[in-house]
Amino acid sequence: MFPARIHDTRELTRPGAEKRTYHFDLDVTQYPGETGVDFKVGGAIGVMAPNEVSEVDEVLDRLGTPRVLRDRPIKLRTSRGRWPTVWGDDQARELITTRRDLLTWCSDIQSYPPNKPLLRVLAEYASDENERKILMLLCSSEGHGIFCNLRNGVHLSVSQMLHAFPSSQPPLEMLLSVLQPLMPRFYSLSNDPHESYSNRDGQQRRLVEIAVTVHETCDWKKGCRTGVGSGFFERQSRRFTAAREAGEKAPEIYIPMFKGLMANPLARQFVSDGPMLLIGAGVGIAPFRGFVQRRLKTANCANKVWVLQGIRDSLVDEIYNGEWGIHEEEVKRIVESRRGEGHYVQEEVRNQADLVWYIINTVDGRIFVCGSTKGMGEGVEEALVEVAMQKGNLEREEARNFWQLKKEAGQYIAETW
């Protein structure tokens, strides 16, 4: 894991945006070069974000772990698996750590619904008979319906479960044995990392840039809680900005990261010539900023790249507005879902049927799609099928096959999550 220092950060959205998005310049000057694979346009870095301090304390409070023990070194022995890391071989491990570090860095305590192993451990240690019965019912086949409702309804965290069943205080090691490992989160590079440098303290620094949209979900106690990864980024951005405002010139704040995915579809299929249509919504547009930067550096081909950007409202969430080079007006078209009549990006795909058909039928033409799979990704795919039906006189099934073949040929690239 590499500690990338935040070189700079800013909020890309304005007050009133439904989702807040932050930009980060991360200093990777010292990133070890041993792997041989460099950062790539369209690649994504991996980030190991910790759980929030207050959430960890809440769990330790509910377990009744005395404060003096929380940071005291302990010897951890595991019999198998990779935990407490997500790296290396499946094997027995032994290391010195602390209870707080284990809950902060190694186990997921909030981002997935309670599962049966957790309920069983809570039942085993519940001293109250009624609590134990409820927990056992949830684990049984008769209680399966209620269990499913519990998983699919509100987003329960481990601390909430411990609050709901206060008589159950399992030993920390039992709880850790049933929690899932805390997994890295991935963030697409929003710049061209090949030639991105800036100066600090008289030295040239190499930067990778990302945009992070904050995920929020309902929380029984706080009203709302942020996602593990995006919430961590938001807190770091706010700390950085507050330190700057307090007069600190270069606050020292780090992001634990690794090179992540540099052979994902966006990174693999990006080439710096040939006409490209880049279709994205929300923060899905971020990697395309790097595509356009790279393109503008390598050739004067502003007329060979087009961007369709789906946003909610240009007054508050048009991220990276004004950062697409001097031809932005010609290159980029925004589609607003909450201003005026409200449109989605796939409607513009239909309006641009001629352009879509020209690009996809050009030997080195490529169409990229990035954003959320549900809704946007599916909607754009449907619009592309309709374009092929209209322009190519194809039946629906033939049109689907057409895009499937273009996908296999690396000309139609959809990376959606």
Ligand X SMILES: NC(=O)c1ccc[n+]([C@@H]2O[C@H](COP(=O)([O-])OP(=O)(O)OC[C@H]3O[C@@H](n4cnc5c(N)ncnc54)[C@H](OP(=O)(O)O)[C@@H]3O)[C@@H](O)[C@H]2O)c1
Neighbours of 11 (CB within 10 A): 17
Member of 47, 76, 119, 311 binding ligand X (CB under 6 A): 311
Does 213 help bind ligand FAD (rule: CB under 6 A)? Answer: yes
Kindly state the smallest distance separating residue 264's Cβ from ligand X, in Å: 7
* Residue 371 binds: one of ligand FAD, ligand X, none (C-beta under 5 to 8 A by kind): ligand X
Which has the closest alpha carbon to 280: 328, 347, 345, 366?
Answer: 345
Of residues 319-338, which lie at the interface with ligand FAD (CB under 6 A)? Answer: none
Q: Cα dihedral sign for 153, 157, 158, 160? A: negative
Among 109-117, 310-318, 332-340, 359-367, the segment contacting ligand FAD (CB under 6 A): 109-117
Kindly state the smallest distance separating residue 227's Cβ from ligand X, in Å: 10
Helix (H) or strand (E) holding 119: helix 116-125
Member of 2, 344, 357, 358 binding ligand X (CB under 6 A): 344
Q: Per this entry, what is the length of the chain?
A: 417
CA 78 to chain CA mean position, Å: 30
The span from the CA of 299 to the CA of 148, in Å, is 55
Does 84 help bind ligand X (rule: CB under 6 A)? Answer: no
Question: By C-beta, is 170 or 280 nearer to ligand X?
Answer: 280
Does 41 help bind ligand FAD (rule: CB under 6 A)? Answer: no
* Residue 62 binds: one of ligand FAD, ligand X, none (C-beta under 5 to 8 A by kind): none
Asked whether the beta carbons of 277 and 306 are under 8 A apart, the reply is yes
Does 309 help bind ligand FAD (rule: CB under 6 A)? Answer: no
Q: Mark 382-401 with x for binding to ligand X (rule: CB under 6 A) and - for no binding.
A: --------------------
Member of 9, 337, 352, 411 binding ligand X (CB under 6 A): 337
Kindly state the smallest distance separating residue 152's Cβ from ligand X, in Å: 19
Report DSSP letters for 53-110, one per residue: HHHHHHHHHHHT--HHHHTS-EEEEESSSSTTSSSS-S--EEEEE-HHHIIIIIB-SS
- Strand 366-371 relative to strand 412-416, pairing: parallel
Does 236 help bind ligand X (rule: CB under 6 A)? Answer: no
Question: By C-beta, is 264 or 346 nearer to ligand FAD?
Answer: 264
Question: By C-beta, is 370 or 384 nearer to ligand FAD?
Answer: 370
Does 357 help bind ligand FAD (rule: CB under 6 A)? Answer: no
Does 227 help bind ligand FAD (rule: CB under 6 A)? Answer: yes
Question: Which tokens sit at 348?
Answer: 């513009």
CA 264 to chain CA mean position, Å: 14
Residue 274 neighbours by CB under 8 Å, 6+ apart? 304, 362, 363, 364, 365, 366
Residue nearest to ligand FAD (CB): 227
Does 310 help bind ligand X (rule: CB under 6 A)? Answer: yes
Which has the closest alpha carbon to 207: 188, 194, 218?
Answer: 194
Residues within the interface to ligand X (CB under 6 A): 19, 44, 188, 213, 266, 281-284, 286-287, 310-312, 337-338, 344-346, 370-372, 375-376, 379, 415-417
